[in-house]
Every structure is written in structure tokens, then in C-alpha cells.
Amino acid sequence: MIVEKNTTPVVFAVSDSIGETAELVTRAAMIQFNSGHVEIRRIPYVTDEEYAREVIEEAKEVENCAIVCTIILPEVRHYIINLARENNIPIVDLMGPMMDTLSKITDLKPKLEPGLVHKIDEDYFRKMEAIEFAVKYDDGKDPRGLSRADVVLIGVSRTSKTPLALYLAHKRLKVANLPLVPEVTPPDELFELPPRTVIGLTITPEKLNEIRQERLKALGLSSDASYASPERIQKEIEYAETIMKKIGCPRIDVSNKAVEEIATRILEIIRKGEF
């Protein structure tokens, strides 16, 4: 590395990941001095001794500097710490003491994988995005979401489409769901999807009648409503079957199955490409 002489104090934020933590801790400390006259140079992905040596060589070119490191890999961390001390460069190791302490109180060994924090953060945001997607495109609210979904669930009312969409969202899948009602023609977008992205949820007339009767009871409505009549249920089921056959999508009978069991089957279909 070719570096010009610099009289401004420099803190090297060194990491075997992206270096964000080292920089944030440095900035938090700088606030206590009410001074912006310190340059922070973030140096990420220091994963071997050769690169660590280059960091020290760069630091030696600066008249007034320090190193703050968040290096997980023990051999690289020890190497840069020893080399910095040999060259009288102040160095703060943020991760070593913390991991040593946690190992003592938990009797566990660290994974020693750089970048795990960011993997966890990315996983969290993917999950939140999938949950927001499931809510936004629930119950056919916006057919434009169908083409953006990883999975589209279709079926008559009370076939667990919404709880399944939210359950699968926690598996980082973007799921839209669409009710099939004889009086409402499905959007064109549904028939333009690859069959492998659509899952048809079926149910026996007897089980659907039972579920709908309970639903009416919970709402304080009469059990004589057409919503739960055998004739209405049969009509809806036959209509849904026609749509599913037209699409050519895989189908799952959700009668007497828990959401977790159905979701597991959906994940298997996606993984194996069963369609």
C-alpha cells in the first residue's frame, strides 16, 4: 500500500468482516471528546496474516494513529495485535476479551465465523419483509403481488390461507394468497404464473362445513346462513377444483391438518419441485 504522510490522528477500524462495529465503537468514543479531528479508516475483510501485515505497514506511515479491531479469527487477531505492539502502535481488541469472557461463563466455544452479525441482521430483515408482504397481499387484496410472490396459495374460504402465509413468511418466503369464489373471476395474473409457484389448498365438504359452522357461531350469526350450507360448500369446492386443474398446480388436502404440517408439505413441494 502507498500512503501519504498524514498529521491528522487516524484510527484504523480493522475487521475480518465489514468493519462496521469497530467504526461505530470508535465514533461513540469520539463523541465523548467532542472532537471531529480524528480520521477513521475502515479496513474490512482482513482474513489472513499477509493483509494484517499490510495494515500495520500502512499504520506505520501515520504519525499519530491507533487500531481498533473486531477480528474473530484467532490467528489473525493475535498476529495483528503482536505486530502492532512490536511497532508501538496502540491497538484495541474489541472481540477477543468479549469472546473469552462468554466462553468462560457459558462453557461454549465460539463459532469463529466472521460476519455472523450481518448474516443475522440480513435474515431478520428478510423475515420482516416477507411478513409485510404476506399482510399486504393477503386475501387477494392486490393481484399485482402475485407475480412477486415466492408462493401463491389459492383455495376456498377457511382453508388456512392466511395463517399459512404468515407461517411461511417466518421461513423467509414471500407468500400471497387468493380466495376462490364462484362469483369472482380470478385475476389474469394468476394464470400467468408458473404452476410451481401456486399451491392449491383443498378440503372435504364435511370438514369445511364444520369449520364454517364454528365461524358463524363465533360471529354470533345463524348456522342457517348460506355460507355454511352443504350446497354452497359443494359449489365452491367444485369451482376451486376447476381453477386448480386449469392452472395445473399441486394440491394439498388441509382437512384435519395443522398449519405446521401443511407448511412442511408446501416446503417439500417447493424444494423438490413437485408439480
44 inside domain:
yes
- Determine whether the annotation assigns residue 229 to a binding site: no
Grid cell digits, residue 64: 499519530
Task: Say what the pLDDT of residue 101 is.
Answer: 87
Task: Say what the pLDDT of residue 58 is.
Answer: 94
The order of strands in the sheet holding 175-179 is 175-179, 151-155, 198-202, 251-253
Please, which pLDDT band fits residue 275 given cuts at 50, 70 and 90? very low
Based on the fold, state whether residues 50 and 156 are members of the same structural domain.
no
Grid cell digits, residue 164: 399459512
Please, which pLDDT band fits residue 115 given cuts at 50, 70 and 90? low
- Determine whether the annotation assigns residue 42 to a binding site: no
| Measured distance CA(111)–CA(123) in Å, rounded | 18
Contact 199, 149 (CB under 8 A): no
- Determine whether the annotation assigns residue 155 to a binding site: yes
Distances from the Cα of 191 to the Cα of 48, 150, 252, 267, angstroms:
53, 15, 19, 22
Sign of the Cα torsion 175, 180, 184, 187 reads positive
Grid cell digits, residue 158: 377457511
Closest CA to 67 of 116, 120, 23: 23
218-235 as b/e, with b when 16 or more CB fall inside 10 Å?
A: eeeeeeeeebbeeebbee
Closest CA to 95 of 10, 19, 11: 19
- Determine whether the annotation assigns residue 264 to a binding site: no
* pLDDT tens digits, 49-61: 999 999 999 999 9
* pLDDT tens digits, 125-146: 888 889 999 999 999 989 989 9
Q: Phi/psi of residue 273, each to 5°?
A: 65, 40
- Determine whether the annotation assigns residue 38 to a binding site: no
Q: State which amino acid sits at residue 122.
A: E
252 inside domain:
yes
Owner of C-alpha cell 455472523: 116
- Determine whether the annotation assigns residue 119 to a binding site: no
Tell me what the mean pLDDT of segment 263-268 comes to. Answer: 94
Sign of the Cα torsion 44, 45, 49, 50 reads negative
1 inside domain:
no
- Determine whether the annotation assigns residue 161 to a binding site: yes
Q: How many domains does the chain have?
A: 2
Based on the fold, state whether residues 169 and 251 are members of the same structural domain.
yes
Cβ neighbours of residue 274 under 8 Å, at least 6 residues apart? 250, 268
- Of 75, 94, 114, the one marking the end of a domain is 114
Based on the fold, state whether residues 148 and 255 are members of the same structural domain.
yes
- Of 97, 114, 131, the one marking the end of a domain is 114
Q: Phi/psi of residue 80, each to 5°?
A: -70, -35
Tell me what the mean pLDDT of segment 85-112 comes to. Answer: 87
Tell me what the mean pLDDT of segment 240-268 comes to. Answer: 95
Tell me what the mean pLDDT of segment 81-87 comes to. Answer: 95
Q: Tell me, what CATH number does 50's domain have?
A: 3.40.50
Task: Say what the pLDDT of residue 13 is.
Answer: 95
* pLDDT tens digits, 177-214: 999 999 999 999 999 999 889 999 999 999 999 999 99
| Measured distance CA(162)–CA(142) in Å, rounded | 14
Based on the fold, state whether residues 227 and 159 are members of the same structural domain.
yes
| Measured distance CA(177)–CA(157) in Å, rounded | 11
- The percentage of residues in the chain with a pLDDT greater than 70, rounded to a whole number, is 93
Task: Say what the pLDDT of residue 2 is.
Answer: 46
Task: Say what the pLDDT of residue 1 is.
Answer: 46
Task: Say what the pLDDT of residue 12 is.
Answer: 96
Alpha helices in 32-94 (DSSP H): 49-60, 74-86
| Measured distance CA(65)–CA(275) in Å, rounded | 62
Q: State which amino acid sits at residue 143.
A: P
Based on the fold, state whether residues 63 and 158 are members of the same structural domain.
no
- Determine whether the annotation assigns residue 202 to a binding site: no
* pLDDT tens digits, 220-248: 888 778 888 999 999 999 999 999 999 99
Grid cell digits, residue 248: 395445473
Q: What is the pTM of this model?
A: 0.61
Distances from the Cα of 31 to the Cα of 13, 24, 26, 41, 111, angstroms:
16, 11, 9, 17, 33
Task: Say what the pLDDT of residue 274 is.
Answer: 53
Q: Which domain holds residue 27?
A: 10-114
Among 19-23, 114-118, 200-204, which stretch is predicted with the lowest mean pLDDT? 114-118
* pLDDT tens digits, 152-169: 999 999 999 999 999 999
- Of 114, 144, 165, the one marking the end of a domain is 114
